[in-house]
Structure 1
């Protein structure tokens, strides 16, 4: 009887530990996805700024009629 009870307690402890580890994995995945989304957004902003600079630098000067 005592070994049966001890075995059930150990199984319960292991199940709770697995639930905690699963929760930690979920938190890490969520953090990773949000960091990846933030990095993607920063790259889009950087690319847009770079394209804007190139377009400004490469655009022809406005034609001015001679005075």
Structure 2
């Protein structure tokens, strides 16, 4: 929802035993829902990479101190 082009974004899981997720992405018309989803997934991937690096550095620092 930090993308200014996205007006609404949500998801639902039809049934816990199904391997499916339904997404609803509504944009302001300046991009497609697919483009917004792809950009969001790319941003999420970048963010998790940063979090992993910070965690690994802290873990290494902790191991060296013990």
TM-score by length of 2: 0.52
In proportion to residue count, which structure has more helix? 1
RMSD: 1.4
Report which structure shows greater RCO (CA 8 Å, sep ≥6).
2
Q: Determine if the alignment matches structure 1 residue 35 to structure 2 residue 51.
A: no
Superposition misfits of 4+ residues, deviation over 2 angstroms = none
Q: How many residues align?
A: 37
In proportion to residue count, which structure has more strand? 2
1:23 corresponds, among 33, 43, 46, to 46
TM-score by length of 1: 0.52
Q: Determine if the alignment matches structure 1 residue 9 to structure 2 residue 39.
A: no
Structure 2: gaps (5+ residues):
1-28
Point out the structure with max Rg over C-alpha: 1
